[in-house]
Amino acid sequence: MKVIVVGCGKIGNAIIERLVSEGHDVIAVDKSKAVIETVSNIYDVMCVMGSGTDHETLLDAGAEDAEMFISVTDSDEINMLSCFMAKRIGAKHTIARIRNPETTDKELNFIKQHLDISLVINPERLAAREIFNILKLPSAVNIETFSRRNFEMVELVIREGSKLDGINLAELRKHHTAKFLICAVQRGEEVFIPSGNFRLAAGDKIGLTAEITEIEKLLKQLGIMQKQARNIILLGASRVASYLTRLLTKSGNNVKVIDRDRERCELFARTNPEATVICGDGSEQEILLEEGINNVDAFVSLTGMDEQNILISCFAASHEVPKVVTKVNRTELYNIAVKLGLDTLISQKRIIEDIISRYARALQNSIDSNIETLYRLFDDKIEAIEFKVAPNFEYLGLPIKEFKIKKNVIIAGIIRNRRQIIIPSGDDYITEGDKVVIISSGNHIANLKDIME
């Protein structure tokens, strides 16, 4: 599929890398000569130097027959105008990054409708929602939602002495009444789609799928349910912090935000009056101790510097803050953060990569199923994909035990009539309109029938 990406910053590069890895024909556009030279040296893509709002540049890039056009420059206005022009030239589907925190959902819908933009993405808002979900269930290191948050995949790390340490999955299901499925396990560098006789061990990261109430029931039974975070410190008065603060204060949480830039602090305080805003250098341990880091339920590091986020998060963890969340975008630093013991990491790049990848596959797949959600997890070794089943899916009504499913693929959940959650057994079946969640390792799944041998 021919895809044009305008704006080759951090987000643009991440999108290019993901689309190239999935075999798409990518054209990169940026007005900086140095940026274009860097992109052409790293990726096997065509590059065009120029503005995304310049008609000739868009023609040079081939916008007239692009199947997908993505504009992710630092300017909302350029992204909107670029998508509008590309659509008029002939691009089939357009995606714009719009990040202004003051833009309401109503305004976004108006923009999409009148500029004919297919999809609007806001990395900061999406990251804030992801952090908010984790702070509601701090036992998890990551939470991914499906079917409008009716069904979730929760990632947990098994600690020394946990009731999960040493148990096999068949025993676990026998001894607990909650309806759940452990559908993925990461042990060191290896990732498994486990069978019933798989034995868990301390240090494993597991992917658990279930309805949220069932997850909470299981965690309580296992004695690893942490209370929701109520008193929270955010480091960095960023856009993500602004979105997150609104979500947290609306839910009755106490939020303290620390930033060393006075002007940014004053703006943050005006737009988020429910939060306590401290103007100070949060990289100084004395400031964090003075502001009560020893007494909070959660610490979230959201500065623009990955290195700073990692180091200060390590400091918070050393002071036994119950939940530490760290924003890290650079892949090489992401891996270092994991090795340092920081297990709850948020990456805006990864969030956007997943959205773009899902959208691209949705355009390519057949009409027997549509991709609703896609996540890449466990160091990109696992994909969790939600499909909506169309009426012509050839396996409708057939018991799952009769399916010939590929190796390292599992049906993790079926959502029927929006509310009925099924953790499937061999006797269950799929019907028209169901939402089906697939967990896969080492397979490219573009539609539901791709899970079959």
The confidence score (pLDDT) of residue 446 equals: 85
CATH fourth-level superfamily of 354-451: Regulator of K+ conductance, C-terminal domain (3.30.70.1450)
Residue 230 CA, chain-centre distance (Å), reads 23
Domains 2-121 and 231-346 share a fold: yes
The confidence score (pLDDT) of residue 230 equals: 94
Domain ranges of the chain: 2-121, 128-222, 231-346, 354-451
Separation CA 446–CA 1 (nearest Å): 13
What CA–CA distances, in Å, run from 2 to 16, 45, 47, 157?
A: 12, 11, 13, 40
Could you report the per-residue pLDDT of 153-176, keeping only the tens digit for each? Answer: 999 999 998 999 999 999 998 888
Separation CA 98–CA 120 (nearest Å): 7
What is the CATH code of the structural domain delimited by 231-346? 3.40.50.720
Determine whether 305 is exposed, middle or buried from the number of CB atoms within 10 Å of its CB (0-12, 13-18, 19+).
middle
Strands 409-416, 435-440: parallel, antiparallel or unpaired by DSSP? antiparallel
The confidence score (pLDDT) of residue 367 equals: 53
CATH fourth-level superfamily of 128-222: Regulator of K+ conductance, C-terminal domain (3.30.70.1450)
Helix, coil or strand: residue 263: helix
The confidence score (pLDDT) of residue 176 equals: 85
Local mean pLDDT, 10-residue blocks, the chain (453 residues): 95 94 95 96 95 97 96 96 97 94 83 92 93 94 86 93 92 87 93 92 94 91 89 96 96 96 95 96 93 96 95 95 94 88 91 90 70 89 93 92 94 91 94 95 88 91
Could you say which of 1.10.8.50, 3.30.70.3270, 3.40.50.720, 3.40.640.10 is the CATH number of the domain covering 2-121? 3.40.50.720
Look up residue 340 and give its DSSP letter: T
